[in-house]
Each structure stands twice: as structure tokens, then as C-alpha cells.
Chains A and B, each alone.
Chain A
């Protein structure tokens, strides 16, 4: 194994550069080193001006999504040895405005997320003193997969629809809406229906499935969208036949 590997890193400092440029750095190639370790090596020893986000370094905080050799990845869970002998191309996640270097602007997602009401909606919340809402392991399994989203934005970066139609509320937000819709304790499906069934909602999705392929947590947003399409279609027919009925 060679001692070093080249990282080609996208640099963009709006105060200095009008558009991104690539800069090469040599970093040690060591067993267990993630791409993120290579970037930290650069920041600590070679070039303090490189900016990127990271925190937990165990694939659960969702901070360190980047495009590595063209693919959306968590840089803490993507290893240099897998790219040997290199070079490894590290760029910001696609489909987002770039604030600086590898740091993207996720305001769009943060604005869209509350619109799908990703919280437990109940007509009446029982007092906590009455104990837990019962939920069997089977009922938990119904939505558990969709509760695993870490908001890392890899699915938005992979989504061809989001790149063309920025109004699309997107894979993670829809998966989180479904996470609550499928939760036996939740009564908010009706409130989420308008946004999910809107042109910016599920119908924008052309079911390419790139989101599910990119997801590092096995959430399967494409499955969530597909499943909701069926629900929404069934609901529309019901509404036609029985205009006053709910569900």
C-alpha cells in the first residue's frame, strides 16, 4: 500500500474565487482512515483555510455529506483505502448552493421540513400520567425504517427531480411525513395530505430511486413516496365517491 493518497478538493471562497476550483493535497493513506480523516489532516497540518462540516464521526449526526468521486457519501463512513491508489475527488453535495468550500446551504430543506408536520399529531393528547400510548413491536416496525433518517441530505443530492424542480419537497421530508403517517399513535395524515399530494409533493417524484440508493441508513425514501402515491390515489377515489367521508 502506498504511503500517501491525493485528495482533489473543491475550493470555493466567495471572497476570493468567482467559481469553485480544485486543489490537490497529499494525505497519509492509512488503514481505517475515512475521507474525513484526510480532510482533517489537511486542515490541521497543510491548509487551515479549508472549510467543511463534521461532528460525530460515527455516521449518525448527518453533518459530513459530500460528493466523493461523483457519489453522495458521508465522508466519515467512506474510506480512503477503498479509493487507493487515488486520486480521490471531494466536492460539496450537489443540488445545493455552496456557502464555502465543502459547506452547502441547507436552508431550503430546513424551511420545507416543518411543512410536512414531522411531529406526532393527536386530536387530543392524553395526560402523560395516564401512561404510554400502546404500540406493539409490529406497529413500531410499520414506520421504524422511516424514522432512521439523519437529515444528511444525500438523498437530495442524488435526486434528479430536486435538481430540476427545486420546489419539490424532496425524499427525506416525504419519508419523515410517512414516518408519522404510519405511526399507530398519529392522527395527522389528513393534515399532511395537502402538501404531500400537491405538485411539489409525491407527484413530482418520477421514481428514479436514486434517493434510496444514496441513503446511508437504509431509509428507502422512494419506497415511502411510492407507498404514499397509492394511499393518495385510493383517497382521491374515495373522495370522489364519498365526498364527505374522511379516510
Chain B
């Protein structure tokens, strides 16, 4: 057994920010980062467009807050949003002081760009590799904090919990297969999202909802799991993200007739140059929904990888594209064999982000004592029913910092009080993992088959549009897949870098997360943001101006309750774009 004061699970944007916050808040605390990949491989690396924080003289915190609240279809907590917009500028400046190569204005000040659903230009960017630069800046800065202990390529299988409090984790060292109980006075979950429960996603292979499932199994509540964001512009087949910045810089979405179809969906009228909060700069939920309607009208183009529309960047010219969107050009050329300077880019909606996650308060505290969460894995909520592009990177920083500070205070207060039962729990987990390996050795179901069926089930059951029938069917299918999962086969019996065992454990986590998404979606009988029920097409503030909270019952079933949304200054209203 190893002891640390604070254990952070995950080494992406939120995890590294949290670890640095712990180290800065209380240098006497021993903090560790446990990550299933080397931190600089974390999925933050793939974020492209930018990070929102008020910077320009003509912008205000209230405007950033209002854009976020209306973008969320009023499901966010406004106290959380107010804290978020107030702290975001300082966090991005801190990154600047740590060396982040933000793009600049000619006079040396930070440059900002437009982004979807934002009424002012407030998105900081490092060309279109913002997440990459942000992550490497954080990782390299974290190297200077020599007291931060890293467990690189360790896979967490369990959060240790006793009487409503977290006491650490059990993790497998990938290289050796060694299973270790790592106790802690506080645990911060920063493992990101779960896009891999769907078949077509921008999310990296590692985005399997581990942290959500770990917390759920330990007894913490998950929140608003039914809100899954489809980004409107992914490359067909690969699902590689073409950043919203492409539209912010002036790109157009065209249907098969070359028509800017968004004008037909209450998103404004076309203008040759981008207009904020209008047309291609509308929010992601509305744009992805418009795609489905175009498809239903027969206005999309069929390809071997599904129907597509086109993103037109040709009129922007090579100079602008190379300066502001070089990664878009590189990705299109490498993965689609096209040059956006001369050709149309085929795109379709793609699962991108989880608005929901582990329920936390605005300090990052979950419903378990000593357990904190931040970043995409968490749901504070500042994103409500639909996240605005470029709010997620600053969310990682603001709430990574908050969770780190809160965990540091908690860990200092309750130091070294790990109860005896935890040691036994650690031993039980070692036994369970060993048994899993031998039990699955006799399995007859391929991991990939179950995973693929789960993904198809989720797309069919809880896609951009859902209804009672599709969801109920998905719930049944997931139940069956859970059964089949117990017969999943493992061919690999070695302890050393056994990626098949990890794939099995990830699949187990994903099935739990998938079930929580379906359960929440089934219960919410309204349409709001990214949750569109064709059988309940209107927003229902009477019944559902509230967060879904889902908890796991001892028998494995889920129980859903509702928590009213916090409204401070912006009473629920109509979401208006383009008019």
C-alpha cells in the first residue's frame, strides 16, 4: 500500500491543473497523478479551436455568462457560470505566464477569435492547436514541480470508499501488471469524457468514461448524463474534428445544392462574412439538429461513410487558412486527401462531448466526501443542455484549480485517517481482477463485438433525436450486452502490457456509463439543448428546469432524482440566434 495526500486520476488539462493547484496551495502535501497514458497523450491534446475568456475592451463577464446560460438552454447553474467567467481570464493568463504560445495581435497582446454561440470575440487560440499547446504547456510546467509524483500508464480500476468517503484507488501498472492499492486523503477525478460509447466520435481511443463509472460504482451521483453533444463538423469515416474556428473564420455549411441551409432553421440570414451568434456561428446542438432535417429532406450527400454536407473554406484563401487553420489543412490533406483551399470539406455531425458527468458543486466536490472531479468528467454544471465551443478548455483550468484547492484543504484537515477496511478492499480488488482474467479466459464473446453493438445501440437509441421507443429498446439491449459481457473472452493471459485486459475493463465502464445515459434520457420527457425527444418536442420548465441525478442502487439498478437549477440573474427565456 502506498499513501499520498491527494491522488489525481487523469493527467490532461484538468488533472495537471488540479495537481499544480494542490502543490501550490500546500507544498507539504504529497500529490500524485495516476494516468492510463503519459500525460501529454491525454485527449486535451486534440482540442483545436480555442479557449473562451473575456479579454477585449468591448466585452464583459455578464455577456460571456449570458451566452453560456442561453447556450445551455438554461440548464446550467448560474452561480457556477458566474464563477467560471470571472476566473477564466486569470486562468488563461496564468497559462500565458507558463509559456503557452497564444496567438497574438501585432502589438503583442493576446488575439481573440469568434466562436459559435458567442456574441463577442473572446476565444483565445494558439492557431488551431489550442489543446495541444495548452496540454504541453501544463505538462512541461508540471515537470518543474518535482514533488508531483506521476504514475504514468497506470490504470485505475476502483475508487476505495468507506461510509460515504473516498480513500484512494486501486490501479494496475500496465508495463508489469502489478496491482497496487494507493490510498489518499482526497481523490480528484479528471479522466475526461466517454465519446467511445458511440460509434462515430471525435474522441480518442482512451475516452471510455472510466472516471464516470469509477465514481458511479463508488456511490457518487452522475448528473445530466442524457446531454451528449454532437459537433456538427467531423470528417466522415475517421470522425476527426474540423474545428468550429473554421466557421468562425468565415467557413460556410452547404447542402448538396450548395445552399447555406442553416438559414432555413431559425439561425439567421446568410451574410458573406461571419455574424456572431448567427448561421454557421450558431450553437452546436442547433446545427447538428439542422443536419438531421436536411438529411430527412434528402438534401445531404450519400457517401460510403454516411450522409454528409460540405464545409466551404475556399473563399478564405490559402493565406488565412495557413495562418489561422493550419491543422485543418493538415488533417484534411492527410486523412481525407483534399485541400480545403481548393476543395469542399465533407462533414457530418459527430459525438464530441459529454455535458453530463460526475455531479459536483462549484468547488469540485462530489457527493462523496474526499472525492472531487473536474473537467469533462464532471458536471458542475456550466454547460447545461449544450456546451458552447471554447468553454471546455477554460472549464478544465478553472475547475481543475478549484478542485485542487478544495482537495488540498480537505486532505490537510483529514490527513492519515485511512480506515482498516480499506486495506481489505484493496486486497478484494486484487482478487477480483485476478478472477476476471481467469474467468474471462473461458469466455466466448469477443470484446470488440460487444463494444460495437453497444455503440450502435447508443447511436440508434440516444442519437441527436430520441424517443421513448428508441430509448426503451436501447435499455433492453444494454441489459443484454451486460449479460454477454460476463462471457467476454480474453486471449491474452500475460501480465505485461496486457491491453486486452484494459479493453475489457474499459468496456465494463462504458456499459455502465451507457446505461446511465439511457436511463436519464428515458426519464426526461422534454426537449432541451442536445436532448431532443421527438415524442416531447417542447422544453418543459415546469417539470424539468432541473438536473437529473442518477445513483447506483446496491442491486446495480439506477435511481434518478432531480435537483433544481440555480438561477441567479437570467430567468429562463427563448434561445435566440440570428435575429
Contacts and interface: CB of A to CB of B under 8 A. Distances in A.
Contacts, number: 165
Interface stretch (B105-113, B180-188, B392-400, B544-552): B105-113
Interface in B138-158: 140-141, 143-144, 146, 152
B446 A44 contact: yes
Nearest to A118: B140
Given A55-B205, A56-B43, A120-B98, A137 B491 contact: no
Contact of A118 (B97, B107, B143, B499): B143
B41 A13 contact: no
Given A48-B490, A57-B238, A77-B334, A128 B109 contact: no
Contacts of B446: 44-45, 48
A15 B494 contact: yes
Given A48-B489, A136-B108, A13 B496 contact: yes
A19 B194 CA distance: 38
Q: How large is the interface on A (under 10, 10 to 19, 20 to 34, 35 or more residues)?
A: 35 or more
Interface stretch (A21-29, A60-68, A162-170, A235-243): A60-68
B132 A60 contact: yes
A52 interface: yes
Nearest to B240: A58
Contact of A61 (B143, B204, B334): B204
Q: How large is the interface on B (under 10, 10 to 19, 20 to 34, 35 or more residues)?
A: 35 or more
Nearest to A44: B448
A99 interface: yes
Interface stretch (B88-96, B260-268, B356-364): B88-96
Contact of B104 (A59, A125, A135): A135
A232 to B, nearest CB: 22
A132 B96 contact: yes
A140 B104 contact: yes
A128 B94 contact: yes
A220 interface: no
Contact of A60 (B104, B129, B336, B448): B129
B61 interface: no
Contacts of A137: 103-106
B326 to A, nearest CB: 10
A15 B503 CA distance: 20
B8 interface: no
Contacts of B334: 59, 77
A134 B109 contact: yes
B46 A49 contact: no
Interface in B82-136: 90, 93-94, 96-99, 101-110, 129, 132-133, 136
Interface of B: 37-38, 40-43, 45-46, 90, 93-94, 96-99, 101-110, 129, 132-133, 136, 140-141, 143-144, 146, 152, 175, 204-206, 237-238, 240-241, 327, 330-331, 334-336, 446-448, 489-492, 494-500, 503
Given A48-B503, A118-B143, 20 more contacts: A43-B448, A48-B447, A51-B492, A51-B498, A51-B499, A56-B45, A56-B46, A57-B238, A58-B46, A58-B241, A61-B37, A63-B41, A77-B335, A100-B494, A119-B98, A132-B97, A133-B97, A136-B108, A149-B136, A183-B99
A-B pairs with the 9 shortest C-beta distances? A134-B108, A44-B448, A120-B99, A100-B497, A48-B491, A49-B492, A55-B204, A128-B93, A48-B500
